[in-house]
Chain A
């Protein structure tokens, strides 16, 4: 039940346009009781890239991430992830298929330590049943230690060794964001969704976070889709950018191209439609 399904066979049958396509979002629309959050959006994410989703407040960016990881079910449209087409799934199934994310407002487990938070990210990957857990011997202990080693690697990578045992509720905001990234990494995702990873950070913290994101992308080969407001950061980090405004896609392409698009400039300057 915990094994990740192997979709490579399916992917071949699907015959996607590009063979490095990781996820394809097609004609997705989402509304809440008549209020449209997303209207007919299509875009794709390629293997190994950093894909940015930008747009003014209320453009539907977070709703888009919520659709991708199964928290919301769109009324129309499909999402093809690693060759499997779907409209809805339970969020924990999304994690099993390799989609992990962080949140706009830090959503850590405040009563737990940094270590436990990151370990919790590995819950899906751990298998020992309750009887072994009860005894805390043999397979259960081995599994725990094995995963602890992986988690300690992440802790080293994010340079948060010193707060390993601190309850995350007591950490400053910037560090909480880092722990949250750690928890997402612990899931060993093939697609990492970051919802405003640098919101509320100072310049130094932003630089650190940018470095971590690039390292994750390059060293671990993780594909990243991120929402961010800091244009400088977005333009530096991302390979391709999709721009949303009022729930619609208004531009899609490499950062330089998007930056000069008239529609994007209008959206950010608030030119009336």
Chain B
């Protein structure tokens, strides 16, 4: 009844390419944006920002990057964590070498470093396929992590081996560093994520996105319809790693505030992969739903049992969390291999015909 599409005709192909051919979708997005830009900033507590909103956005962005590579172009990657690290360390070096550099510039540039690393480790994909390719990304994961630990120049020879985010300002407001107000950081992350998401939507629905999906669905056929496999795969590695690198820079600069090499270990790669799987491979929306679930789950496990009088230790929260995520992954693969995004799509279809189910 509320999702009625009857009467919404399109009279040109241009109109069919509107982001939301159905106007209820646009309304829904507008509502979410109002919450993100107005309601949350007015109501949410610092804890909400730090424990939920900011990490959800950053994880969603990282998963979006991975999803472009794995969900759209079909190239499995287990090295997301390390590529996030490249973005973070690049941003750190840029900011400390050129202290007068604008933080936006540093973040935009840092993505190119991770993109270059992604392309370098993506080169084997031209010869190696499927699971065998996973080894290339694992090599990236372990080699880069080792580099973060051993190459002292990367962390400016700090005795701790960790990088400490310096204070930077944007339009007179402190954006990064210990004194930065969380609201400013939230807006910075939100806007970055919105812009990159818009770009990702556009790329994935156009020519380049189609070549990626073609390579994913059947690479031989893709080659035989004239798609240059090398360009398609490497562009997927480039775009994916760029976004992942930005997510890494945000991860450290706008959220953690400090980082050591171990932060970017394989567990991080897996966490991002789980978000992409649970959210739905080959979907943009799914990354947000998946990130929300993965970030919120430990918070829920930590607070709900306590609220009903069953306090459990924080270690136990973590253990249960791991177990539940594992079960969720299996459950999703069995019930709905396309993840939360597909569940929403099914629900939306039901809504469109509701209340007349035929």
The chain A residues found within 8 Å of chain B, CB to CB, are 69, 71, 90-92, 94-96, 100-101, 103, 107-112, 116, 119-121, 123-124, 126, 128, 130, 133-136, 140-141, 143-145, 148-149, 152, 183-184, 187
Contact = CB atoms under 8 A, between A and B. Distances in A.
A141 B218 CA distance: 27
Contacts, number: 114
B218 A187 contact: no
Interface string B191-213: 00000000100110111101101
A123 B211 contact: yes
Given A111-B213, A128-B207, A134-B203, A120 B227 contact: yes
Nearest to B232: A123
B216 interface: yes
Contacts of B227: 92, 120, 123-124
Given A111-B217, A116-B210, A133-B208, A124 B226 contact: yes
A101 B202 contact: no
Given A130-B239, A152-B13, A108 B203 contact: no
B218 A92 contact: no
B225 interface: yes
A135 B202 contact: yes
B225 A95 contact: yes
B220 interface: yes
Contacts of A134: 199, 202-203
> Interface size bucket, B side?
20 to 34
Contacts of B14: 141, 145
B222 A109 contact: yes
Given A112-B213, A120-B227, 8 more contacts: A107-B218, A133-B207, A141-B14, A141-B17, A143-B207, A145-B17, A148-B13, A183-B225
Nearest to B206: A133
A183 B6 CA distance: 30
A71 B199 contact: no
A112 B217 contact: yes
30 contacts: A90-B223, A95-B225, A95-B226, A107-B224, A109-B221, A111-B213, A111-B217, A116-B213, A120-B214, A120-B225, A121-B225, A121-B226, A123-B214, A123-B225, A124-B226, A128-B206, A130-B203, A133-B206, A133-B207, A133-B208, A135-B199, A135-B202, A141-B14, A144-B17, A144-B207, A145-B17, A148-B13, A149-B13, A152-B13, A187-B226
A92 B228 contact: yes
Given A91-B224, A112-B214, A123 B13 contact: no
B282 interface: yes
A149 B13 CA distance: 8
A111 B226 CA distance: 19
B210 A120 contact: yes
Contact of A100 (B13, B202, B225): B225
Contact of A145 (B13, B228, B235): B13
A107 B235 CA distance: 23
Contacts of B214: 109, 112, 120, 123
Interface string B48-85: 00000000000000000000000000000000000000
Contacts of B217: 108-112
Nearest to B281: A111
Given A111-B282, A120-B210, A123-B211, A136 B202 contact: yes
Contacts of B216: 109, 111
Contacts of A130: 203, 208, 235, 239
A34 to B, nearest CB: 24
A91 to B, nearest CB: 5
A116 B213 CA distance: 9
A156 to B, nearest CB: 13
Q: Which 7 A-B pairs have the closest CB atoms?
A: A95-B226, A109-B217, A107-B221, A136-B202, A124-B226, A134-B199, A133-B206
